Structure formats: C-alpha cells, structure tokens
C-alpha cells in the first residue's frame, strides 16, 4: 500500500508516539484523521504538519465509548470517503502493585477503578476502533490495514497488571483479526515498542534513565520516530500480516 493519498486514522494522536506517526506519514503524502480525547495537543500538531484542512481532520473522541467511536468513523467516512489504515495507538497507564503488604499488613492494592480505566481505553478502545474501521473497510471492498500498538509489557511487567493484560490482548487481537479479515483484503499487525523517549519517559529522573538505558542491549532509549518508521514499513509491505513486530532495542521483559 502506498502511503501517498492514503486515509490513515491515528488514535491517541495527541501523545508523543501518535504525533511522531502523524509527522512522518504527513511528509509522505497521507491524509490524516487524528483522534484523541484532548483537542488542544492535536491542534498544535495539525499546525506543524503543513497539511490542507481537507487532508487533516481532528476529532475529540473517547475511544472507550462505543457511540463516540462509531460517530467518529462516520465523520471520517463523510469527509474522506473511506478509512484505509487505522493505527490503534491510544493508551493510558495507571500503574500499581496488585497487592502490597508490610509485616502482614495491607499497604495498598490496585484499585478496580484503575484496572477498569486501563482495560477500557487500552483494550476495549482498540476493539471498538478496530471494529468500526473494519466495518468501513469491508463495506468499501478493501484493501485495508489495522495496526495495533502493543508493548514490551505484554509479557508481564511488575506494577502493570492492567497494562500488561491489555497489551497482551491487543497483540492477540491482531492475530485473530488478521485471520478473520484476510478474506476482505484487510491486513492486521501489531507493534510492541520497548521504552521510547516520549514525555513520560523523558521526564524520569536522570539516574533512573541511566539505569533503564543500561538494561537495553543497544544502550539507549528508543525514539518515537522509530516506531513511526515501523508503521510506515507495515503500511508499505503488503506481505506483512498477522505479525507482532518488537521494536525494543533487544530488551525482553
């Protein structure tokens, strides 16, 4: 699939990874639909892309809300006529140990609220957006592509029961959907980033960053554009399907 003139939907576009994807794909001539629950960072991003208004639409959308997602994809269809590519990138963290005790006394435990918040956005949101995109792609007769952004944490990471569970599910859905949707000419893949230099990571204490970098075989934190470059590769290589590409500098959890 050629990126130029392709309609690409990016969820979580207000964050570092989503912004990097939008910038790289815009330079290649993509037409973008950017979704995030916050409109302000997307407006700043849009101003930096240099795209005509008809080639870049912004939609404030809670991806965990079924009605909001279906409405957003209808808006995309009304403006662009189709959805060619969906990058399921929206995600949040609410880290905590499942249970923490000291000398037999409960100190804390992961709240159901924090569990549900992460599952709702990171897993249910991926399902809702994937379903809406697949519906429009199949109705248009294909071809199409869905890219789910998973994580190195899908293998299990201390303090991330909710996030790890969601990201494991996201990777599994990519395989499931690839099998279900191949008959319609729709490919589905996943990307599992390692530690990437988004604001959340970059704002860590210097000593923590140094320690983290030492754990990565290539000796550094990844760059957001390296994940965006992987998205570009998947778009352009039509034989990549049902795969989870790990982009983590050789680190494994």
pLDDT, block means (10 residues), the chain with 253 residues: 97 96 97 97 94 94 98 98 97 94 94 98 98 97 96 92 97 98 98 88 76 89 96 98 96 78
The number of beta carbons lying within 10 Å of the beta carbon of residue 42 is 24
pLDDT at 176: 98
pLDDT at 200: 66
Cα–Cα nearest to 232, from 12, 25, 82? 25
Q: What is the rounded CA–CA span in Å between residue 74 and residue 176? A: 25
Domains and CATH numbers, the chain: 7-247 (3.40.50.720)
C-alpha radius of gyration, the chain, whole number: 18
Residues listed for the chain: 253
Looking at 73, 127, 163, 195, which residue is catalytic?
Answer: 163
12: burial class by Cβ within 10 Å (0-12, 13-18, 19+)? buried
Q: What is the rounded CA–CA span in Å between residue 174 and residue 192? A: 12
0.85 exceeded by pTM: yes
The answer to whether 37 is a known catalytic residue is no
Q: Write out the DSSP string of 100-158.
A: EEETTEEEEE--HHHHHHHHIIIIIHHHHHHHHHHHHHHHTT--EEEEEE--GGGG--T
pLDDT at 199: 76
Q: Which residues pair with 109 in a beta bridge?
A: 99
pLDDT at 207: 81
Question: With contact defined as beta carbons under 8 Å apart, do 235 and 24 qualify?
Answer: no
Q: Which residues pair with 58 in a beta bridge?
A: 34
Per DSSP, helices labelled H in the chain are 16-27, 40-49, 66-80, 112-119, 125-139, 161-181, 199-202, 206-214, 224-236
pLDDT at 237: 98
- 124-151 exposure pattern, b = at least 16 Cβ within 10 A, e = fewer: bbbbbbbebbbebbeebebebbbbbbbb
Q: What is the rounded CA–CA span in Å between residue 168 and residue 151? A: 8
Q: Is the dihedral of CA 133, 138, 143, 149 positive or negative?
A: positive
Q: What is the rounded CA–CA span in Å between residue 30 and residue 10? A: 12
Q: What is the rounded CA–CA span in Å between residue 112 and residue 32? A: 35
Question: With contact defined as beta carbons under 8 Å apart, do 91 and 12 qualify?
Answer: yes
């Amino acid at each position: 699939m050629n990126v130029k003139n392709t309609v690409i939907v990016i969820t979580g576009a207000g964050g570092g990874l989503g912004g990097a994807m939008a910038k790289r794909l815009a330079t290649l001539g993509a037409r973008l639909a950017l979704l995030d629950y916050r409109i302000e960072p997307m407006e700043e991003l849009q101003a930096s892309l240099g795209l005509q208004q008809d080639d870049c639409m912004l939609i404030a959308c809670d991806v965990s809300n079924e009605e909001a997602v279906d409405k957003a994809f209808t808006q995309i269809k009304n403006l662009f006529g189709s959805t060619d590519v969906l990058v399921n990138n929206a995600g949040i963290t609410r880290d905590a140990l499942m249970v923490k005790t000291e000398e037999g006394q409960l100190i804390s435990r992961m709240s159901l609220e924090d569990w549900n918040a992460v599952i709702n956005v990171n897993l249910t949101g991926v399902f809702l957006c994937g379903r809406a995109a697949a519906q429009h792609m199949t109705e248009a007769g294909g071809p199409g592509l869905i890219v789910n952004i998973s994580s190195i944490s899908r293998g299990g990471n201390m303090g991330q029961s909710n996030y790890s569970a969601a990201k494991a599910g996201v990777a599994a859905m990519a395989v499931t959907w690839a099998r279900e949707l191949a008959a319609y000419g729709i490919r589905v893949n996943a990307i599992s980033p390692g530690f990437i230099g988004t604001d959340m990571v970059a704002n860590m204490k210097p000593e923590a960053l140094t320690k983290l970098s030492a754990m990565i075989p290539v000796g550094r934190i990844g760059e957001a554009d390296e994940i965006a470059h992987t998205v570009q590769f998947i778009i352009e290589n039509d034989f990549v399907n049902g795969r989870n590409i790990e982009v983590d500098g050789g680190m494994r959890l």
